[in-house]
Amino acid sequence: MRFCRGRAARVSRVALAALAAALLTLAAPAAGLSPAPLGRWITAPGPGRAPAVRIWGGDTQSAEFLAYAPEFTGGVYIAGGEFDGEPGSEIVTGPDAGGGPHVRVFGINGTPRFEFMAYAPSFTGGVRVAAGDVDGDGSQEIIVGPGPGGGPHVRVLRTDGSPVVEFMAFDPKFTGGVFVAAGDFDFDGTSEIVVAAGAGGGPHVRIFRVTCNGGGCHAAETASFYAYDPSFRGGVHVAVQTFQSGRHVVTGAGAGGAPHVRVFTAGGVPTGLQFLAFAPEFRGGVMVSVGAGGAGDILTGAGPGGGPHVRTFGSDGLSAAYGFYAYEPTFAGGVRVTVGGYPPPT
């Protein structure tokens, strides 16, 4: 696949080793921590478990529902959405590899709202999901990226499955999958789309802006950068966070690398904020999300091979104030996490 030719963002082995040593105590599991009161935590399991999505308020699980048939154990991707005018009021789900491209939207307590096939029904690589108002019409759309086995075909779809825009995020020959996120970087009322290569591709992150006119909608790249050393092939997970200085891209390394979280400006420049979300020796990857409304804390979930451990870090990356196990601690398929709805349920 093609990558940007600009200077790659590199972290030296010496610097990373120092970072690991400094955070070794911080990164150890902390089962006694409680979930943060930042709205409703929403979790979904990785591969190896029934597709039970859980909603948490404070330190209490308030609801649970099956996103797909109970016999499907391939894992679930999730995102918070705003499709009825209330912030974080819906949950978008997509199956992981082994499931068809079946996107579903649920109310915050698990009531089914919408569903559609994001790609051809025969595709079984799974689908990654995000939500944002990409075309500026005042309603959020669903952004999807394929899992392994499909081309890097990103689509923006309405809740009825009709397309707004679609494009190839990377070289069409790349079949490692695409991770997606969305955020309004320039505060103009429309969301840009963040894409990152899945396993097998370099740690390449790109940002696209969608413009619409009488001839339809079109996506154009606004930034392109490497989140980690270009030789890393584990893929990159992405989210968008709001800081006082603007909105930034949060990245989490995929499987094979240390659980390294980094933060970049909308132009791909490292902000200097980076940390290890879990113990340095963990190599299952780290999922990333952000606090309610995209503000404040960075949420992390362990990838496959780790327990279902969710941790939240302050905007300095050094204060792991909250954390919990979203499923039984013996489950080793990993966990995906997002936040929706504010304030927490009572």
Select from 286, 290, 328 the least CA-distant residue to 303. Answer: 286
User: Other CB atoms closer than 10 Å to residue 247's CB: what's the count?
Assistant: 20
What is the pTM for the complete model shown? 0.87
Find out whether the peptide bond into 343 is cis, omega within 30 degrees of 0.
yes
HSE value, Cβ hemisphere, 13 Å, CA-based, for 119: 26
Select from 109, 112, 75, 105 the least CA-distant residue to 91. Answer: 105
Task: Print the SS3 string covering 328-344.
Answer: CCCCCCCEEEEEECCCC
Per-residue pLDDT of the chain (346 residues; tens, 9 = 90+): 433 334 333 334 434 343 443 333 333 333 333 334 445 789 999 999 999 999 987 567 888 999 999 999 999 999 999 887 665 579 999 999 999 999 999 998 899 999 999 999 999 999 999 999 999 988 999 999 999 998 999 999 999 999 999 999 999 999 999 999 999 999 999 999 999 999 999 999 999 999 998 889 999 999 999 999 999 999 999 999 876 667 899 999 999 999 999 999 999 999 999 999 999 999 999 999 986 554 568 999 999 998 999 998 887 766 665 788 999 999 999 999 998 754 433 3
- Give the pairing of strands 246-253 and 236-243: antiparallel
From CA 16, how far away is CA 276, in angstroms rounded? 9
From CA 60, how far away is CA 146, in angstroms rounded? 33
Residue 295: both structure tokens together: 């503000």
| Radius of gyration of the chain, Cα coordinates, nearest whole angstrom | 18
From CA 16, how far away is CA 29, in angstroms rounded? 20
| Three-state DSSP class for residue 107 | strand
| Three-state DSSP class for residue 206 | strand
From CA 105, how far away is CA 117, in angstroms rounded? 12
